[in-house]
Structure 1
Amino acid sequence: MKPWLGQEEARALAEVVFSGCVTQGPKVKEFEDKFAAAQGARFAVATSSCTTALHLALVVAGIGPGDDVIVPSLSFIATANAVTYVGARPVFCDIDPITGNLTAETIHAALTLDTRAVIAVDQGGVPVDLDPIRRLCDRHGITVIEDAACAVGSQYKGKPVAAGAHIAVWSFHPSQILTTGEGGMLTTDRADWAARARALRGHSSNLTALSREELFLSPREVCLEIGFDYRMTDLQAAVGIIQLRRLPEMVERRRKIASTYMEALCGIKGLRIVADPPYGSSNFQSLWLEVLPGFGSTCETLLERLADAGITARRGSYAAHRQPAYRWRDSGNASLQNTERLSDRTLVLPVFHEIDSASINRVINVIRNAAHPVGV
């Protein structure tokens, strides 16, 4: 992955630098408003990262010690980590073997008497099938948080992903399509949750950086509860505003690149390439391949062959329940066989806005040769 940044972002940054207001200020508010409108949410709260947004989402949803939160193991470890930050227990859930996402069925298998929330991840930008999950969780009074870190620009049933979640979080890390360098966002339709998240990200102070600058004599500062330093800067937001405007073009380009790979690789025995689910469309933040036993090489061997050819691919998402940080934890009784299968058998291909046809063809040729080794 390589972010697509240019002169527009540089000019936006320069304007903020010369304005003198570089911390959280008017650009953050503008970015929040525009992002909320783009995602079909009433409120958006900008944060320092997706992880901090997820932490705030759990706090405002009232999740804490004694609560269980169902999470997919096949996800970046921050998904489970945020649950531990609030003192709750992550209960790992298996996934659909095709999309890599949890489903209502896999969630049902992992339910406990203490389940208070589910974090549904859009794996690599593939939209999660949210409606059945909401029906299940609504019956049990369970909060649905959508971890849409990788999914900006993806669609679910003709609408932006996460529009049906109680609360959602987003990442603007450089590995994502829309980047602010570092940064994240929380979206929700609940005014009370949004207001509390805004307060918590700035130590729960009644004063903001902008209000301090605008008032000659600011009121006495009051912190109503223990908060955090999870703010986004105007420098980041200025870049985000430009990136958001370019998002449709970036998604269209990634889908075109993905289509090129798919057409070239779909007929190779023992390979399965991720595709759009029937209920939505992916932004293809990650274009992953599953290497099956019928292929001419293992997943690890294919990664090595790509590296030998000067091509940087990477392993697919790891299984969090296998990480040393979580091996000692009680993760419930649900089977995680699909999680382990995709963790062991998937790799992610190079996809970025400015990749050229020659580079794509180099990748394709290495994969074809690995399927049919010379002399075999």
Structure 2
Amino acid sequence: MFAQPIANEQLANRDPERFFALAEDSFKRRRLTNQGPVVDELEQRLCDLHGTRHCIAFANACFAIILALRELARPGASRVILPSLTFRGLPHLIRWAGLEPQFCDIDPLTHTLSPTCLAQLIDSNTAAVLAVDNVNGLCDIDALERLTLDAGIPLLLDAVYGIAGRYTTGGDDNVGSRGSASVFSLNASTLINGFEGGYLTTNDDQLAAKMRRQRNFGFGQDAVSVELGLNAKLNDLHAAMALSNLEHLHAIIADNQRRFASYQQYFQDLAWVSFADYSQSPGTFSQILLKVEADAPYSRDELIRILRAENALVQPYYSPPLHHQEPGTRALPITDSISRHFIQMPAGDPVDEMDIRRLAQLFKRLEQDAAAIGERLGRGPQ
């Protein structure tokens, strides 16, 4: 169906001329790294976006999470509580920080950490909580902050999908301004394309100072190491790409909203699929989560197989969940249920309205020819 693959990534590149102009300035200054002026400007613009005192840019979001967990973790404790329905790399980052993941169930609507489940898991061995804002729902930040503050446990937020959102409507309660700190990605597939990169926001002056040192080999004044660090600096070229796209953030979000509206329009006559509830989302629609209903003529995995054969490179939504890889982890029933039913559909700048219309036509054909296609899938006659 698609001569060129379509996938579920943002890949926004809105202003190449602005990027090349910023990059040329960096070359002329001979300042491509070590906190050049483009990185400075990007950090200030992101502080303004999130309403925080500090933004610290990193080579990628993974470094930011590792260093933040090492710094924030409660002394003498070893476990970090996180959702199981999330990015597959998070447990690796926790272990790089010298800690161990402990998986928690989720809210069925927002797919974020369940405060009820979290309350049951917090104990004396809890070093930190790593909550994740989702594309279709933000964390119950008030409940999570109450639980962690009462227990004296730091709350770190992986807010990659929450960017530009607010935890409460009508206020200045911006994503990135709550908890101990929040981490965001500038990977090319995220809402702000910086080729690669990430950043951390916080209102904690002491934490910000430590993060700035630790991303730069732990150097203090006069380039003398004062603590353990590494080279996790964002270079000016990546910052230039991120800055050129940040200036178009609201236009990128508006285009995502139009794509989601097209999905709703063209798929509305298909009773056996629906979309995740986005009523508590940050409103960016950077991922489109399609739910395959229990009475659908195909399983979720069969639909993925068919779509990928047509060059629509869809993915199962965080499936299998992370706790399946950890022997002895207790059952997480809501996580298991959610992970079986959703597909991440093609989204982002490479996808247009005609692509979405063609996908809907494919689904309607699949509905009409379900028996014959079921046999071709190897089920045999029904």
Q: Are 1:257 and 2:232 matched, yes or no?
A: no
**Does residue 89 of the first structure (1) align with residue 91 of the second (2)?**
no
Superposition map of 1:144-223 within 5 A: 144-158=155-169, 159-206=173-220, 219=222, 221-223=223-225
CA distance change for structure 1 residues 355 and 141 in 2, over 3 Å: closer, same or farther? same
Asked if 2 retains the 8 angstrom alpha-carbon contact of 1:2 and 1:175, the reply is yes
Alpha-carbon contact 2:136-2:278 (below 8 Å) kept: no
Paired letter, 1:353: D
Cα-to-partner distance string for 1:303-356 (whole Å, 9 max, x where unaligned): 122123332212211312223xxx24x54x4x3122222223221111112522
Gap regions ≥5 residues in structure 1: 208-218
Deviation at 1:179, TM superposition (A): 1.4
After superposition, the C-alpha distances for 1:269-324 in whole angstroms (9 at most, x for unaligned) are 3323123234x53312211112132111111111122123332212211312223x
The RMSD of aligned alpha carbons is 2.1
Query: TM-score, normalised on structure 2?
Result: 0.87
Letter in 2 for 1:341: S
Deviation at 1:192, TM superposition (A): 0.3
After TM superposition, give the deviation of residue 266 of structure 1 in Å. 4.5
**Partner amino acid, structure 2, of 1:260:** S
Q: Deviations over 1:123-181 (max 9, x none)?
A: 23632221111112222112111101222223321343232222100011111010111
Which shifted more, 126-135 or 193-202?
126-135
1:160 is paired with a residue whose SS is: coil
Q: Does 1:130 align with 2:138?
A: no
Structure 2 partner of 1:286 = 287
Among 21, 29, 44, the residue aligned to 1:19: 29
> Could you tell me which of 3, 23, 37 is aligned with 2:11?
3
CA contact (8 A) 1:152 1:178 kept: no
Q: CA deviation at 1:113?
A: 2.9
Partner residue in 2 for 1:66: 77
Whether the aligned pair in 2 keeps the contact of 1:50 and 1:171 (CA below 8 Å) is yes
Quote the residue 1:46 is aligned against: 57
Which has the higher mean CA deviation after the structures are superposed, 267-276 or 96-105? 267-276
**1:225 Cα shift?**
1.4
Rate the CA distance shift 1:74–1:342 in 2: closer, same or farther, 3 A: same
106 and 364 in structure 1: CA distance in 2 versus 1, 3 angstrom threshold: farther
Contact 2:83 2:112 in 1 (8 A): yes
In 2, Cα distance between the equivalents of 1:29 and 1:49? Answer: 16
For residues 282 and 161 of structure 2, the distance between their equivalents in structure 1, rounded to whole angstroms, comes to 13
**Kept after mapping to 2: 8 A contact 1:264/1:364:** yes
**Change in CA separation of 1:109 and 1:267 when aligned onto 2, cut-off 3 Å:** farther
Give the CA deviation at 1:119: 0.9
Indicate how the Cα distance of structure 1 residues 244 and 182 shifts in structure 2: closer, same or farther if over 3 A, else same.
same
Aligned partners of 1:47, 1:227: CA distance in 2, in Å? 13
Mapped pair 1:238 → 2:240 = yes
1:355 equivalent in structure 2: 351
Equivalent residue number for residue 230 of structure 2: 228
Note the C-alpha offset of 1:267.
5.0
Is the partner of 2:56 in helix, strand or coil?
strand
d(CA) in 2 for partners of 1:239 and 1:63?
36
Q: Distance in 2 between matches of 1:375 and 1:86?
A: 52
Contact 1:17–1:235 at 8 Å: present in 2 too? no
Q: 1:33-57: CA deviations, max 9, x gaps?
A: 1101101111010001111111121
Using the TM superposition, give the Cα deviation of residue 118 of structure 1 relative to its aligned residue in structure 2, in angstroms.
1.0
Indicate the residue corresponding to 2:312 in structure 1.
311
Compute the TM-score of the two structures, normalised by the length of structure 1.
0.88
Q: Report the residue type matching 1:3 in the other structure.
A: L
Residue 100 of structure 2 is aligned to residue 100 of structure 1: no
CA distance 1:368–1:13, shift in 2 (3 Å): farther
Q: What one-letter code is carried by the residue in structure 1 that aligns with 2:336? A: E
Aligned to 2:3: none
Deviates more, 1:145-154 or 1:232-241: 145-154
1:367 equivalent in alignment to 2:367: no
Structure 1 Cα separation of the partners of residues 109 and 351 of structure 2: 27
Higher mean displacement: 178-187 or 61-70: 61-70
What CA deviation, in whole Å up to 9, does each residue of 1:203-246 have, x standing for no partner? 11125xxxxxxxxxxx4x31011211111001111111121111
Q: Secondary structure at the match of 2:82?
A: strand
Identical positions, percent: 23
Q: Whole-Å Cα distance in 2 between the matches of residues 371 and 129 of structure 1?
A: 38
Q: For residues 125 and 321 of structure 1, what CA distance do their matches in structure 2 show?
A: 21
